[in-house]
Chain A
Amino acid sequence: MNRQVTKLAVASLILLSALIVATTYWQTWASAGLAEKQDNAIQRVAQFRIKRGVIRAADGTLLATNVRRKAGGQTLYFRRYPTRGLFAQLVGYSTQVRSRAGLEESENAYLTSSNANLGTILNKTLDKIKGVTITGNDLILSVRPRIQRLAMSQLAGKCGAAVVMNPKTGKVYALASQPTYDPNLVENHFNLIKAPGAPCHPAAPLLNRATDGLFTPGSTFKVVTATAALNAHKFTPESTFYDPGYCVEYGKQVSNAASPDGPVESFGHPTLAEGLQHSINSVFCNVGKAIGAGLILDYMKKFGFYKDPPLETPANERTPSGLYHGGRLFFPPHPATQVDPGRLAFGQETLAVTPLQMAMVASTIAKRGVAMNPQVLDRVVDSGGKTIVRVHPKELRRVMSRQTADEITSMMVAAVNDGTGSAAAIPGISVAGKTGTAETGTSGINTTWFICFAPAENPKVAVAVTLENQTGFGGTTAAPIAKLLMQAVLSPRSNK
């Protein structure tokens, strides 16, 4: 029987070796895939043994901090958000049940000290060997709670977003989105997160409308069209047009927008500058037809359209601006035949843009033609208080010549001083701004806009404000909010 016993022994050992092979598979090859699984609680809980770094605003206000909990002899660190809904979409959340969002997701590596910084790796390894809790790095943001609070209170009860940034550095002071939610509820009371009474459907309180919300830009887009027309030397601010109150496209009349004071006006023989100042659709319609959709699309790309607007938040919480077809971003290969240049020129067609992108447009004009990279992260500080990363201002590209930028600035100043944007005028300070009132398809219901910067000669703040489902105009709804936000930044109290 020994022959059989030997064979049985070999068979038994093969069975047991298969276990080693299978264990190797699960612990090496399959390991990364399993770690990604939504329902992998072990992976997530393991992360909660790390004492995450805290997140602070520019003035030191705590935006995200930890509470300690004991579970079966291990210490777990759960997140608390003291400012509740104030920075909800930007800061996001880190939970066991619903994973992470916002900066908690995109800056997870710093917050958990798993970034590849040499000092961090050394500290973490030492902590591991010593059995000490691993402590993450802290994030200090550039956002200012005072500005953010003002923006959120101005948007309260509405659906919309506001972006306030420094045009010279790209540092973001406020990134507001309403309706909002309390991130402290995400872990255990997710079903309580609702936005009752929000005048939009779906209310989507978790959506960061500033970076991920898409809206028709309306007349604010005329700044982009004007940039293309002037910088490509197709027109000058003094070029004159004939305005019968409408523009003829493909044999159809496209009329000017109704003015806040009454029915559709006709302006006779306005210049391009007056066209922007009074937001005359027929002027831009003719500009669009003259320069063609292709040139406008080129300048859109220079401004940053057709790419996720740069910011430190997760890529899936930012959306590119541009033409959309059937819910998808659409870049026409043959713009001459595929796009209506007249409607594109005054910001209708199938354009959809994010408030952050429009803030970048205002900021680029303010920076005399140079687009800056919007940044919300100011620095990363390790657990010992040492700054390990300092985020420096970053130039994206020159979009237009200084001369073009200056020409558009004076056109925008005129729009505020004696045009559609007069509600944003600040006594003693020259404000450059542009209104937008985009049709939504439902008559009488508009998406309203205001983009602006101030002081015009030495800009310190650029703002974009968007409001959904408005019956008013950009100049009457969004411009007053933008004015308050600019004033808040320019008043000495906030200059920290």
Chain B
Amino acid sequence: MSLRNRELLNLVVVGTLTALGFASVYIARQSVVSTASLSYAAFFFALYLVAHLVARYAVPYADPYLLPMAALLTAIGLTEIYRIHPGDAFRQGVWIIIAVAVFAGTLIGLRRDYRRLESYKYIFGLTAIGLLVLPALPGLGTTVNGARLWIHVGSLQFQPGEIAKLCLIVFLAGYLREKREVLAQGRLKDFGPLLVIWGGAMLVLVETNDLGSALLYFGIFLAMLYVATGRLLYTAIGLSLFLGGSYFVYTRVAHVHDRVTIWLHPWTTQPVYCPLNGHMVLRQYCQSDQLVKSLYSVSNGGFGGTGFGKGTFETVVQTPHGERSVQLIPYVNTDFIYSALAQELGLIGISALLLVFMLFVARGMRIALLADDGFSKLAAAGLTFGFALQTFIIVGGILRIIPLTGITLPFVSYGGSSVVANFVLLAGLLLVSNRANAPRDA
């Protein structure tokens, strides 16, 4: 069977699963959603068929599993978003159309040779820095949930960090390919760029108030540096610099300090000062409110989960103005979609979901192994590691492995910039894979 036929077969399986997912949400929530929900599955399958046809045309030799896995993750995300808020699912559907269009454009535009991007590496580097600084600009950036990660242009919301991540990877792949021999020698002056990027990561940390984003960018950098030079010492030095810097910021920046306190002690038995309302309350009712609510959601899933559409996400309370619906999980569509999925799918389902993430990472790394030039290897490894690390940072934050950071779960979370960026990431991996697998006729 040809690679593309295998991909098509996998997509048919994913399409069937999507239909089952939407059907179960429909059955569980007939009173809220209409039969139109079932058309989502059809729409979805058609959209991925388009993506598949583009792949057939542009990257016939690419890995046949990545696109179906991305489709599965997106489908699970969309199903859950639909279950939480049908209106958001419609917007997310529009974003997925845009993302598939960008995906198609990237594949078609770069199908001959994506390696020419290497010559624009500094432009990518500057773009990455520019995008990262954007949210810090007054009037443009907005503070959501204590961190400045978003920009607003009119009614459009955008998280530039997602795109910056991709630009950074392209820059690093180009730069490290060129300098890897020099860097491997370990002369002191070559550590300059390392320090600059460390400084950049710290700046991002201070400006965005966001430990997770800084960890993501710096982690990608260290990983790619290691792949390029093969010297674990650099990674160790970089990591200790990052930890040292983080500690310094932790002692100086109240928001970062709070994040760590919340992580270590989400529950208190004595009332503590609550900066949100100025009262003395238990921390679980104040700053760690989001973290503990999301953990309650995860734990309520138990082994088998409640089933799609049957989780407990909201309740009604009486107010002087009548009854009001209250969400029991904060940011359930975006940052905490994992908590919602964990409750409804249970340990079995959520472990399967994480296994899909792991398979995606395994295929991505395999592409890096098969690629035969330095730029491609570094790009594929960087993109894949970025995907893995982002997943780890958000889910690890929810599960209290690390302090919580509000970033999106790749392909699953609601959010335009995230979906588009991840489809570009997918396109990049497919391009590298196509080139590596293509028969050599020249």
Q: Which residues of A contact B (CB under 8 A)?
A: 1-9, 11-13, 15-20, 22-28, 30-31, 34-35, 37, 39-43, 45-46, 48-49, 69-74, 76, 96, 131, 187-188
Contact = CB atoms under 8 A, between A and B. Distances in A.
Q: Is the interface of B mostly helix, strand, loop or mixed?
A: helix
A400 to B, nearest CB: 48
A303 to B, nearest CB: 39
A11 B296 CA distance: 29
Contact of B385 (A12, A28, A96): A12
B351 A1 contact: no
Interface in B74-132: none
Nearest to B386: A12
Interface string B385-418: 1001101100110011100000000000000000
A73 B301 contact: no
A30 to B, nearest CB: 6
B438 to A, nearest CB: 19
A22 B396 contact: yes
B333 interface: no
A16 B365 contact: no
Contacts of A43: 296, 300
B350 A8 contact: no
Contact of A23 (B27, B223, B354, B365): B354
A478 B298 CA distance: 56
A459 B188 CA distance: 101
A37 B296 contact: yes
A37 B362 CA distance: 39
Contacts of B328: 41-42, 45
Interface stretch (B145-153, B191-199, B309-317, B426-434): B309-317
B346 interface: yes
Contact of A27 (B33, B301, B391): B301
A7 B222 CA distance: 13
What are the nearest 6 A-B pairs in CB distance?
A: A73-B32, A9-B365, A22-B399, A12-B388, A34-B299, A71-B316
B399 A26 contact: yes
A188 B318 CA distance: 7
A8 B226 contact: yes
B243 interface: no
Nearest to B309: A73
Residue with the greatest number of chain B CB neighbours at <10 A, chosen from A4, A28, A30, A35: A4
Contact of A5 (B227, B296, B355, B358): B227
A157 to B, nearest CB: 31
5 contacts: A12-B388, A20-B351, A23-B354, A28-B302, A34-B295
A72 B354 contact: no
A27 B347 contact: yes
B213 interface: no
Nearest to B388: A12
A9 B267 CA distance: 36
Contacts of B28: 131
B297 A42 contact: yes
A45 B385 CA distance: 39
A42 B226 CA distance: 44
B369 A28 contact: no
Contacts of A8: 223, 226-227, 365, 381, 385
Contacts of A6: 365, 369
Given A18-B396, A30-B299, 7 more contacts: A1-B377, A19-B354, A28-B347, A37-B292, A41-B293, A42-B328, A96-B315
B60 to A, nearest CB: 24
B397 to A, nearest CB: 11
Contact of A16 (B314, B346, B354): B354
A5 B267 contact: no
A27 B227 contact: no
A187 B347 CA distance: 33
Q: Is the interface of A mostly helix, strand, loop or mixed?
A: helix
B385 to A, nearest CB: 6
Interface of B: 27-29, 31-33, 223, 226-228, 230, 267, 282, 284-285, 292-293, 295-303, 312-318, 323, 325, 328-329, 342-343, 346-347, 350-351, 354-355, 357-358, 361-362, 365-366, 368-369, 374, 377-378, 381, 384-385, 388-389, 391-392, 395-396, 399-401
Given A42-B293, A188-B318, A26 B312 contact: no
A76 B395 contact: no
A22 B318 contact: no
Contact of A4 (B226, B361, B391): B226
Given A26-B299, A43-B296, A1 B384 contact: no
Nearest to B351: A20
A13 B362 CA distance: 8
Contacts of B314: 45, 71-72, 74
Contact of B342 (A7, A12, A27): A27
Nearest to B327: A72
B369 A46 contact: no
Nearest to A24: B347
B381 A73 contact: no
A15 B386 CA distance: 12
A46 B300 contact: yes
A43 B300 CA distance: 7
B294 to A, nearest CB: 10
Given A4-B230, A16-B391, A18-B392, A131 B293 contact: no
Contacts of A188: 317-318
Contact of A31 (B293, B302, B369): B302
A18 B399 CA distance: 10
A45 B300 CA distance: 11
A269 B357 CA distance: 95
Contacts of B346: 27
Contacts of A4: 226-228, 230
A284 B374 CA distance: 102
Contacts of A15: 388-389, 392, 396
A41 B312 CA distance: 9
B354 A20 contact: yes
Nearest to A71: B316
B388 A131 contact: no
Given A9-B361, A42-B328, A45-B328, A1 B227 contact: yes
Nearest to A48: B315
Contact of A22 (B223, B316, B343, B400): B400
A73 B28 CA distance: 9
A88 B366 CA distance: 68
Given A13-B362, A26-B295, A49 B312 contact: yes
A5 B381 contact: yes
Contacts of A25: 399
B351 A42 contact: no
Contact of B365 (A3, A5, A46, A48): A5
A78 to B, nearest CB: 8
Contact of B369 (A2, A16, A40): A2
B365 A34 contact: no
A11 B220 CA distance: 13
Contacts of B361: 9, 12-13, 16
A368 to B, nearest CB: 52
Contacts of A39: 282, 284-285, 292
A23 B298 contact: yes
B98 to A, nearest CB: 28
Given A8-B381, A17-B358, A69 B323 contact: yes
A19 B377 contact: no
A4 B354 CA distance: 24
A97 to B, nearest CB: 8
Given A16-B354, A42-B328, A23 B342 contact: yes
Given A15-B388, A16-B357, A42-B297, A3 B399 contact: no
Residue with the greatest number of chain A CB neighbours at <10 A, chosen from B300, B392, B396: B300
Given A8-B385, A20-B354, A187 B318 contact: yes
Given A1-B228, A45-B312, A19 B368 contact: no
A11 B401 CA distance: 16
Nearest to A97: B317
Given A4-B230, A18-B392, A35-B299, A12 B384 contact: yes
